[in-house]
Amino acid sequence: MISVGAWAALSGMGGAQAAPCPCGKVIAYVDCAATTDGVGTKDKPYNSLGNIITTKFGPGSAIRLKRGSTCTGELSFKGSGSESEPIKVQPYGKGTDRPVINAGGADQAMRLDSQQYVKASGLELIAPGDGSAARRGVYVTAGDSGTMHGISLSGLDIHDVGGALPGKAANADPATGTAAGASGGIVFEAQGTTTPTAFDGVSVSGNRIHNTDRSGISVWSNWCRQPDVAPGWHPSCTEAWKPAKNVVIKNNLVSNVGGDGITLMTTDGAKVRGNTLEGFNERSAGGMGVSTLNAASSVIEGNEVSGGHTADGGMAFGVGNATAGTTVQNNVSHDNDGGFLRLAGAPDSPTKDFAVRGNISVNDKARAVSITGGPLTGGQIAGNTVHLDPTIDQLIVDSKTGEKLDVKFVDNLVARSVGAGTDKGTVGWNLEDPGFVVDHNMLTGVPIPSGATETVASGPKLLAPGATDALGYQVRQGSPTLGAGTPVQGLTGYPVSASRVPAGSPNLGAAQAPAAYPASLADTFNSAKDGKPEDWKVKGDVVIAPDPSGYTGNSLVLKDEAAATHGFPAGAGFLRVNARMRSADTTKPVSMEIVDPDGKPVASVGITDGHLTYSDDADLRVLPYTVPDGTWVRLSMLLRPETGSYDLSAGGTPLTSGQLRAGSGVASRLVFAGDKGATLAADDVLVFPESCPGPGTPAAKRIALEMRPAHAQ
């Protein structure tokens, strides 16, 4: 291994004008805060990206950027790694601050072009713009270069990407900023005309992507002309089908996106798992949360999608034209203006063989399921739970096509809460095609469509209806949903429990598990009167107010050294404590603390200086997991008294374990509190006993926990 500077010295050139190293393995250091330009060694680093651009890197090479420094321009370089020795782009130095690359006037902060086996991690990337031209955080391209392997992007913080938007760019087409030359946080694009080109082996994991236009993450290619798709369907599909393969997009936190959140186009077998998307279609029209288009065998599972704006788009999930074999399962969708699911097809670009199962939709507006174009063949919408506040307007199924529909809507639970004097919403169906079969569903508080069979209309007895926590949609003892379904191939349900009901007698809805233990404490704050918390002991400025993110319902809001306490039955067994927290200013400490009957701390989690904190016995520790101002974070603590420990997850991500406070008694009270100047919102409080946590149990098998390793934040 040899540094760039060492090679320069050996070649007699010296200084910053070193010739590219022909031996391949190069270690280059960059500190853009350095006052003088060095030779690329750790003690004499480069102070700009210019030397990196002209250097050729080979297998085993590394580009290391100084933590806390800011470089301006585009980071790009020549060369590729190998499967066993990828090129690594990573931070160096003390501390936790990321090195920053601000594209300035460049189109992107980082560019890879027809390169293979590259791993980039731990950087902060910014690409400012006014929406009139393309901008990207990371732009990965390949052109007439064959199959490009092994691109990994992890632990990046990508934000303030001002890419092209309809109405701002010279081209006002609604698709501006998508497809060829797309804008967004992370963009993959394969093009060409002579050599079939595609990516194989793409990993995008553990990144935080926020304030980006137009998209969060997208994959596209012009090698997209499938044999059974009409040539004129999409003008950009100029070349024969050559899809990206082995694409995995997982565990990313994506928020405040101008258009589409995560989009798969021209992929085969791609997996989108365990991502959290909050706020999309913010500055565009037609943007979807997570969607597929012209793709095969996609799997979209274990994601949480919320805050889709406008009914023109704003839907959590989309199965688009020219797709086959798409699976959308075990996701949570809530508070999306456009609704839960869009199914689109056309005679010249068929959509077929899709399965939508085990999902939970809460207070999605406009449409639970929207159908446009058509025809649809071999479709299954099974074992999902849709729950609506009485104020919501929604068409459960809204079909706007005269094309044939071959879809089975079975074993679903659709329930609308009924509140005295609050039933302002209108719920119905727009469905005429008899090929869309509605059979063996619970439809309570909503109309039953003509032709529906084996419908159960009584109440479901949910654990915590109205919450956006999936565990609130477990059913209680005596629920008529238990065992009332019809067998459906592949139906496993949202993993609320390690226990499963027999496949031959499934439940209705997403919870395919036996009746849940009663909750020790469940509060969504939606039934409070006169803005006062019910059964909470408060100190200082504590009120019930509309959700500060604009979602349906209310939240508990504490301001300026306030506290709110609620008791629950004490018990010595395993205990799950779930809640959402939102800090308006994350520099002001806020916390959720579990205490014993004498008020002694048992365990706590909080937000301080933009990071999650947690208790470890008497110590308070800081996690690298970052929390932006004004963003909800879903927290879960699993207390294990027999070992004196607890597990902590955030956003469905298992983060760490801590020790319970030595000498504390059994958990019996929950306390939310904030420091001076803090504004803390809390919601979806759910406390209940867990049975037998450990390997092969709810804590291990629940997808929201199982599939997400800790974010490299």
Bridging pattern class, strands 385-388 and 413-416 = parallel
Residues 480 and 350 in one domain: yes
Residues 635 and 583 in one domain: yes
Residues 83 and 129 in one domain: no
pLDDT for 712: 36
Decide which of 40, 69, 94 is a domain's last residue: 94
pLDDT band at 171 (very low <50, low <70, confident <90, very high): low
pLDDT at 223 over 50: yes
Q: What percent of the chain has pLDDT over 90?
A: 78
Among 138, 146, 136, 253, CA closest to 191: 146
Decide which of 297, 325, 344 is a domain's last residue: 297
Residue 313 and residue 206: Cα distance in Å, rounded? 26
pLDDT at 205 over 80: yes
Residues 535 and 507 in one domain: no
| 710 falls within a domain | no
pLDDT at 631 over 70: yes
| 678 falls within a domain | yes
pLDDT band at 398 (very low <50, low <70, confident <90, very high): very high
Residues 64 and 8 in one domain: yes
Of 79-93, 604-618, 678-692, least confident by mean pLDDT is: 678-692
pLDDT at 620 over 70: yes
Which amino acid, one-letter code, is at 125?
L
Average pLDDT over residues 534-542: 94
3-state secondary structure of 626: strand
pLDDT band at 285 (very low <50, low <70, confident <90, very high): confident
| 699 falls within a domain | no
| 604 falls within a domain | yes
Among 385, 364, 363, CA closest to 481: 385
pLDDT for 177: 72
pLDDT for 423: 60
- What's the distance, CA 537 to chain centroid? 35
Residues 332 and 217 in one domain: no
Average pLDDT over residues 208-232: 90
Residues 418 and 550 in one domain: no
Q: Which domain holds residue 137?
A: 103-297
pLDDT at 707 over 80: no
Residues 134 and 241 in one domain: yes
| 706 falls within a domain | no
Bridging pattern class, strands 611-616 and 633-640 = unpaired
pLDDT for 419: 62
CATH for 558: 2.60.120.200
Average pLDDT over residues 268-297: 95
pLDDT at 305 over 80: yes
Average pLDDT over residues 534-551: 94
| 697 falls within a domain | no
Q: Based on the number of CB atoms within 10 Å of its own CB, is 228 exposed (0-12), middle (13-18) or buried (19 or more)?
A: exposed
pLDDT for 704: 38
pLDDT for 527: 81
pLDDT for 510: 97
pLDDT band at 625 (very low <50, low <70, confident <90, very high): confident
Residues 191 and 324 in one domain: no
Residues 406 and 335 in one domain: yes
pLDDT at 15 over 50: no
| 696 falls within a domain | no
Residues 639 and 657 in one domain: yes
What digits encode the pLDDT tens for the residues 478-513? 999 999 999 999 998 998 888 889 999 999 999 999
What digits encode the pLDDT tens for the residues 582-616? 999 999 999 999 999 999 999 999 999 999 999 99
pLDDT for 532: 84
Decide which of 242, 262, 297 is a domain's last residue: 297
pLDDT for 8: 41
Q: Based on the number of CB atoms within 10 Å of its own CB, is 367 exposed (0-12), middle (13-18) or buried (19 or more)?
A: buried
| 430 falls within a domain | yes
Number of structural domains, the chain? 4
Among 486, 494, 556, 519, CA closest to 361: 494
The count of C-alpha atoms lying within 13 angstroms of the C-alpha of 675, restricted to the half-sphere facing its C-beta, is 11
Query: Between the CA atoms of 202, 208, 210 and 215, what dihedral angle is there, to the nearest 10 degrees?
Result: 10
Average pLDDT over residues 103-126: 98
Whether the full predicted model's pTM is greater than 0.85, yes or no, is yes
pLDDT band at 169 (very low <50, low <70, confident <90, very high): low
pLDDT, greater one: 42 or 311: 42
Count other Cβ atoms within 10 Å, centred on residue 345: 26
Count other Cβ atoms within 10 Å, centred on residue 687: 22
Q: Could you please report the per-residue DSSP string of 98-138?
A: PPEEE-TTSSEEEEEES--SEEEES-EEEE---SSS--EEE
Of 107-116, 222-231, 426-435, least confident by mean pLDDT is: 222-231
Average pLDDT over residues 296-305: 97
Report in angstroms the alpha-carbon separations of 526 from 304, 390, 465, 634, 700: 21, 11, 10, 18, 31
Which amino acid, one-letter code, is at 684?
D
Residues 276 and 350 in one domain: no
pLDDT for 235: 80
- Region for 114 from its dihedrals, namely left if φ exceeds 0, alpha if ψ lies in -120 to 50, beta otherwise: left
Structure tokens at 528: 């409070």
What digits encode the pLDDT tens for the residues 128-140? 999 999 999 999 9
